[in-house]
Amino acid sequence: MPGAAELALVGVVGRAHGLKGEVTVRPTTDFVETRFAAGATLTAGPRTLRVAGHRWQSGTLLVTFDQVTDRSSAEALRGAELWATLDGADLPVDEDEFHDHDLIGLTVRVGGIEAGRITGVQHLPGQDVLVIATPAGERLVPFVAALVPTIDVASGWVEVADLPGLLVDPDETAG
């Protein structure tokens, strides 16, 4: 995986669309128009791809790359993570703004006790959601201040509210 300090995950390639190398992309960025603008350069594994263009069709992001000109080349990209190089303008402006790579890997604490680890961030229409691996399995926690009041990226942890059923099912703690 690319170095988290230099690159940010901006999307994951889905299936090929049509015969001319177009692919579907599940974006993981709030800046789709910038990251997938014609001329933008993205990294997919060892490959560097130059965006030829993008468009939306029925809520699906479709992207073409200069180096991908046919369906078989597009199919070979399926599942590839697309990374963009960050520059100074990409750094969070407010102290309560974070990139996905800032959060992934952080320890999750509940009441000061380690309860899991952030393994992903889902960008849903209503709000962002943290994907947290716990001993009881994967949990989804809305990324809002009421439920995630403290984030200390430098120290490597976040505090999640101690609410029954949020990270631990009430039945699991009953004894």
Residue, of 86 and 39, whose pLDDT is higher: 39
Given this model, what pLDDT does residue 95 score? 66
The pLDDT assigned to 78 comes to 96
pLDDT tens by residue, 67-88: 999 999 999 999 999 998 876 5
Q: Residue 124 burial (CB < 10 Å; 0-12/13-18/19+)? A: exposed
pLDDT (mean) for 13-20:
95
Domains assigned to the chain: 7-88 (2.40.30.60), 100-164 (2.30.30.240)
Q: Fill in the DSSP letter of residue 106.
A: P
Strands (DSSP E) contained in the chain are 7-17, 22-27, 41-44, 47-57, 60-65, 81-85, 107-110, 113-123, 128-134, 137-142, 150-152, 157-159
pLDDT (0 to 100) of residue 31: 80
Confidence band of 5 (pLDDT split at 50, 70, 90): very low
Residue 59, both tokens: 């809520």
pLDDT for 119 equals 94
Place of tokens 């943290």: 130
Q: DSSP secondary structure string, 111-150?
A: TTEEEEEEEEEEE-SS-EEEEEEETTEEEEEE--TTT--E
Q: How far is CA 129 from CA 20, 30, 110, in A?
A: 35, 14, 17
pLDDT, one tens digit per residue, over 97-112 is 787 878 999 999 998 8
pLDDT at 170 over 50: yes
Q: Name the pTM for this structure.
A: 0.57
- Average pLDDT of every residue of the chain: 87
Count of CB atoms situated within 10 Å of the CB of 138: 11
Nearest to 148 by CA among 133, 163, 140, 159: 159
